[in-house]
Structure 1
Amino acid sequence: MRSLNTGSPMEGTEKSQSGRVTIYSVPGCPHCKQAKARLLELGLLLHEVDLNQHGALRPQVKQLTGRSTVPQIFFNNIHVGGNDDLQAMAPEKLEYLVRLVRQEGVPPDAPPLPEEGAENAEEAENQDGEFKCERDELADVVAQFKQSGAIGSHRKGLKVHKNSFTGAQLLGWLEENKEQDRNRALEMCKMLMDRKFFNSVQRKGEFEEGNALFRLVEHDPHSALNAREMAACQPQNAAVLSEILRNTMLELFSNYLSPDGKCVDYKAMAKSPSFEEYCELAVQLQRVDLQVLTREEKLAFFINIYNALVIHGNLRMGPPKNTWQRYRFFNYVSYLIGGEVFTLQDIENGVLRGNKKGIGQLLKPFSKGDPRLQVALPQAEPLIHFALNCGAKGCPPIKTYTPKEIDSQLHTAAEAFLENEDSCRVDVDKSEVKLSQIFKWYKGDFGDTDEKLLNWISNHMSDSPKKKDLQELLKCGRFKVSYVPYDWATNSKD
């Protein structure tokens, strides 16, 4: 399914227009949706440029606007600003700009559009990242074993483990039904375990022949959202798969975002055939190899998966509406990834924050013997806090993260977050800095004192009057830090 966000015109009710209205946006951005709705109400033809797809234009747009957020709107060569600027514009000024683009042609210094052929080139590049399922021949072996009757309830001490089997059962079945000698059957058992088809119930890392219990990954009792079905395709490249999943979910989200950008019809989305396709694709996460990921691949993979999983969780459980529901949501909503269960808390605090305690957590997410600890970053990456959510009045011009550009993308996301007054407000007269609660919750990631925190913020801001004001306060050494209440309102269409 193709998006219109490629620089092609979108029609309003009035088609007579000599000039151009350009809006730089990203899919799934409610502020972009609101701006587009307002412009179309005015009967304007829009040229929408998706900066998620045409990332090469991001530096030029930032240079022209001085901002890292989207949307950014131009009437010919006149920069209007973002959605808030458009909505608050005086009627006479807006009328002048509408008249301008209807009567005057596009000037030479109008903002850039994607070069001719760039869309096709990027599309061709993305084709390499499309999901292609080649069935794993070992999946047929597992499917046959599931029909053997060996999988059932097994007691270990006082506990009964459902959907389990012993090493002896699998080994004996392979010898009898696959006509393999013991050494060959044992080799295949180890291969099946290495390929993430099953795990040890006791979380041991190696296959054992005797009464040790095992369970197919798809039968994990945690109720991960991509369980209950076997990943039958050859294991996918984790980073590529995460990009495909994230882009698929973004397109789906955009299709069910209301025209005013204020709410999402999750109920209708959950019934969509496209969502069913997404769920089938998410199953393939079960057997990806996380151990081979580089730092950059790990960051991009888990950020993309976290953001997709949040929406998937909203679809299956409904958006959380109170403190208890939020706690349960972030500690329960999960995917099976590489043979292990990862909740939202596990991804954020266990992997991306270097196994640090999260809000309200008494213990670290991963214990010393937890195999997921091997995947965790060596230390917290503060910039992930601006990529995992967008709670301000403008979105970063990136929605899917790539290993190749992850560091620059994270810095752009931070700049976009800090541009918003809801996230960071500097009052020189009162010597006060008001910050998002994110900086309070995760202060240790940014610095253990107010001064270190503000220096970190200053170093990650784009050049702006706000940055100069903050630097002046830091230079004087007199400032007060306070925190703005976090808006937990959901965007669900009830």
Structure 2
Amino acid sequence: MALKGRILIYSIIGCPHCMRAKNTLQELGLPFVDINLDSYPQCREPMKHRIGRTSVPQVFFNSIHVGGNEDLQKLVNNKKDFEALVAEVTNIAPPADAPYPPDPETAVNNGGLTDIVCEPDEYARLVMDLKGSGIIKDQGGGFLSRSQKSCFKGKDFVSWVTKTKHLGHPEALEMGQMLIDQHFGHRVGSSSVAVFKDDDTMYRLIEDDESSALNAGETSECAMMPVNELGEAIRRLILQIYSVFLSADGRSVNYKSIATSSEFKKYGKLTRELVRVDIEKASRDEKVAFFINIYNALVIHANIVRGPPSNLWQRYKFFNTVQYIIGGQTYSLQDIENGVLRANRKGVGMLFKPFGKNDPRLKISLETPEPLIHFALVCGAKSCPPIKTFSAHGLQQQLQMAAEAFLESDNGCQLVSSKNEVRLSMIFKWYQEDFGSSHIQVIQFVHNHMSNGAKKETLGSMLQTNKAHITFMPYDWSINSK
């Protein structure tokens, strides 16, 4: 169909609602201009200024703002109004006040499915030599001692270094310490950073640990990547994977196809870099963006290689046993969400905090919880927030966008003004302490993080009556896969 006017849609990569809106227009044979805000971030502020919203998608017929995906679907079902808008863009050129597509030359290159640049690590080469040295072997065992597999004694390492590398005793000790500090190995029986000793203390390479972590195994030979750089690389790759394997209608993810794809093989290789990443020195925003992205990626990874959980017990096991090794420590999904991002608070069904007072991961935990993570973490179920990835740069704006998108949807919030009823996702019940100490405070939080529009105005009016009350909607645990 040829149009004198223009249908324009603002979107981001991997957004299910965006895919659904674009699929609807395609099925109707209506051409449109897609403004990808990942490629054109300079269009975010003009869009927000124009309509008072930051969520996507946002659809325009010439200068007429239709709204998001749900608004578009309602419009399509209203035949008279929809035909009027189609006639508008069919016969009338875009007026001066219509949003205009940006210059393609201003697009930001967000990176593709290219291999990361690997700077060889001298200590990785040392580890390769160490594995062939013969000093790594099963140690101990006997009447009073327990056998330790694939270990080496500190004194054997020092002796090996001085003889084969022709270095002095202080230099050999320093090399042993660097193996610990750079997360190649650790003292047996302790995952915390320790002083390397020239005695019978036993050490083990992290790759020799018996671990069920999905990135366990041979350690990367690359130099440690800065946390922000690694987080961005993972962010870009996950975006690319979802742009390929999210269904055309945005309703499901084809996990089976991901499993056999070249993209997933590259992702698996990239997860090896997590083992040695230095997260301790990262800023708060870098930690939040990094761990949100890693959490969401870990859920996807586990759904691909293990399959999604199908009942309550499997879900409990899934979130407590699916793990990555990050910076030399093992983190489950529960550890990331409740230990790191919620500042070591107990999660649903947990009797104790994730990290004890002597847990080395405690120093990675945020000092205060970040409540907006609940609109960013993806559990793979249909009632979870849609898939998004995050960057440390402009993080708060991105989290606010995620909150607005979730609260705009019926999965997040529904209002029944005649009953002064605020229907919220179970997320607000499970993690109420993150949103407020009372239901009124929770409703106020929801209002504060809604995008401007009729829904926010309605909730504001309900708040003024002092009669607004919350009910919680059933959570849809069915999986968004096909």
- TM-score if structure 1 supplies the norm length? 0.89
Choose the corresponding residue for 1:166, options 153, 156, 177.
Answer: 153
Taking structure 1 as reference, are residues 85 and 232 closer, same or farther at Cα in structure 2, changes over 3 Å only? Answer: same
Q: Is 1:91–2:84 an aligned residue pair?
A: no
CA distance in structure 1 between the aligned counterparts of 2:64 and 2:382, rounded to whole angstroms: 25
Taking structure 1 as reference, are residues 454 and 159 closer, same or farther at Cα in structure 2, changes over 3 Å only? Answer: farther
Aligned 8 A contact 1:447 1:453 in 2: yes
Aligned 8 A contact 2:403 2:449 in 1: yes
Q: Is 1:255–2:273 an aligned residue pair?
A: no
Q: Corresponding residue for 2:124? A: 139
Aligned 8 A contact 1:29 1:395 in 2: no
The residue type equivalent to 1:312 in the other structure is H
Taking structure 1 as reference, are residues 298 and 21 closer, same or farther at Cα in structure 2, changes over 3 Å only? Answer: same
Cα distance, 1:392 vs structure 2: 7.7
Aligned 8 A contact 1:226 1:336 in 2: yes
Q: Corresponding residue for 2:55? A: 69
The residue type equivalent to 2:125 in the other structure is D
TM-superposition CA deviations, 1:50-91 (whole Å, max 9, x none): 223322222322333343332221222222222223233223
Q: Corresponding residue for 1:195? A: 182
Deviates most, 368-377 or 172-181: 172-181
Taking structure 1 as reference, are residues 479 and 45 closer, same or farther at Cα in structure 2, changes over 3 Å only? Answer: closer
Deviates most, 226-235 or 206-215: 206-215
Aligned 8 A contact 2:440 2:469 in 1: no
Cα distance, 1:221 vs structure 2: 2.3
SS of equivalent residue, structure 2 residue 274: helix
Q: Is 1:154–2:143 an aligned residue pair?
A: no
Cα distance, 1:111 vs structure 2: 1.6
RMSD: 2.4
Choose the corresponding residue for 2:33, options 47, 61, 84.
Answer: 47
Deviates most, 145-154 or 91-100: 91-100
The residue type equivalent to 1:41 in the other structure is E
Cα distance, 1:134 vs structure 2: 0.7
Q: Is 1:465–2:454 an aligned residue pair?
A: yes
Q: Corresponding residue for 1:217? A: 206
- How many equivalent residue pairs? 474
TM-superposition CA deviations, 1:237-285 (whole Å, max 9, x none): 1012112112201211221122222222211111111111111111111
CA distance in structure 1 between the aligned counterparts of 2:371 and 2:148, rounded to whole angstroms: 40
TM-superposition CA deviations, 1:118-167 (whole Å, max 9, x none): 11xx22x869x983211112111101111223323334765443333222
Taking structure 1 as reference, are residues 426 and 214 closer, same or farther at Cα in structure 2, changes over 3 Å only? Answer: same
Taking structure 1 as reference, are residues 38 and 466 closer, same or farther at Cα in structure 2, changes over 3 Å only? Answer: closer
CA distance in structure 2 between the aligned counterparts of 1:240 and 1:130, rounded to whole angstroms: 13
CA distance in structure 1 between the aligned counterparts of 2:13 and 2:4, rounded to whole angstroms: 27
CA distance in structure 2 between the aligned counterparts of 1:50 and 1:392, rounded to whole angstroms: 24
> Which structure 1 residue ranges, 5 or more long, are not aligned?
1-13
Counterpart mapping for 1:20-31 below 5 A: 20-31=6-17
Q: Corresponding residue for 1:11? A: none
Aligned 8 A contact 1:70 1:394 in 2: no
Aligned 8 A contact 1:70 1:395 in 2: no
CA distance in structure 1 between the aligned counterparts of 2:296 and 2:407, rounded to whole angstroms: 20
Taking structure 1 as reference, are residues 462 and 87 closer, same or farther at Cα in structure 2, changes over 3 Å only? Answer: closer
TM-superposition CA deviations, 1:405-446 (whole Å, max 9, x none): 112222222222222233122323212211110010001111
The residue type equivalent to 1:321 in the other structure is S
Q: Corresponding residue for 2:470? A: 481
Aligned 8 A contact 1:351 1:376 in 2: yes
TM-superposition CA deviations, 1:334-382 (whole Å, max 9, x none): 2111111111111110000001111111111111111110000112111
Cα distance, 1:232 vs structure 2: 1.1
TM-superposition CA deviations, 1:4-35 (whole Å, max 9, x none): xxxxxxxxxx4x33322211112222222222
The residue type equivalent to 1:80 in the other structure is V
Aligned 8 A contact 1:71 1:394 in 2: no
Q: Corresponding residue for 1:79? A: 65
CA distance in structure 2 between the aligned counterparts of 1:83 and 1:189, rounded to whole angstroms: 57
Deviates most, 380-389 or 437-446: 380-389
CA distance in structure 1 between the aligned counterparts of 2:148 and 2:37, rounded to whole angstroms: 49
Taking structure 1 as reference, are residues 378 and 130 closer, same or farther at Cα in structure 2, changes over 3 Å only? Answer: farther
Taking structure 1 as reference, are residues 158 and 353 closer, same or farther at Cα in structure 2, changes over 3 Å only? Answer: farther
Aligned 8 A contact 1:392 1:420 in 2: no
The residue type equivalent to 2:103 in the other structure is E
Aligned 8 A contact 1:436 1:486 in 2: yes
Q: Corresponding residue for 1:115? A: 103
Cα distance, 1:317 vs structure 2: 1.1
Q: Corresponding residue for 1:176? A: 163
Choose the corresponding residue for 1:453, options 442, 445, 450.
Answer: 442
Taking structure 1 as reference, are residues 453 and 473 closer, same or farther at Cα in structure 2, changes over 3 Å only? Answer: same
CA distance in structure 2 between the aligned counterparts of 1:425 and 1:85, rounded to whole angstroms: 15
CA distance in structure 2 between the aligned counterparts of 1:137 and 1:61, rounded to whole angstroms: 49
SS of equivalent residue, structure 1 residue 403: coil
The residue type equivalent to 1:481 in the other structure is I
CA distance in structure 2 between the aligned counterparts of 1:454 and 1:155, rounded to whole angstroms: 60
Aligned 8 A contact 1:175 1:181 in 2: yes
Choose the corresponding residue for 2:359, options 360, 370, 375.
Answer: 370
Cα distance, 1:485 vs structure 2: 0.8
CA distance in structure 1 between the aligned counterparts of 2:133 and 2:48, rounded to whole angstroms: 61
Q: Is 1:301–2:286 an aligned residue pair?
A: no
Aligned 8 A contact 1:394 1:420 in 2: no
Aligned 8 A contact 2:173 2:197 in 1: no
TM-superposition CA deviations, 1:313-350 (whole Å, max 9, x none): 11111122211221111112221111111111111100
Taking structure 1 as reference, are residues 163 and 361 closer, same or farther at Cα in structure 2, changes over 3 Å only? Answer: farther
Counterpart mapping for 1:238-387 below 5 A: 238-387=227-376
Taking structure 1 as reference, are residues 93 and 155 closer, same or farther at Cα in structure 2, changes over 3 Å only? Answer: farther
CA distance in structure 2 between the aligned counterparts of 1:474 and 1:98, rounded to whole angstroms: 38
CA distance in structure 1 between the aligned counterparts of 2:249 and 2:296, rounded to whole angstroms: 22
Aligned 8 A contact 2:378 2:385 in 1: no
CA distance in structure 2 between the aligned counterparts of 1:101 and 1:210, rounded to whole angstroms: 80
> Which structure 2 residue ranges, 5 or more long, are not aligned?
none
Aligned 8 A contact 1:245 1:278 in 2: yes
Q: Corresponding residue for 2:433? A: 444
The residue type equivalent to 2:433 in the other structure is G
The residue type equivalent to 2:40 in the other structure is H
Aligned 8 A contact 1:67 1:419 in 2: no
TM-superposition CA deviations, 1:376-417 (whole Å, max 9, x none): 011211111111139789978x93322231122222222222
SS of equivalent residue, structure 2 residue 418: coil
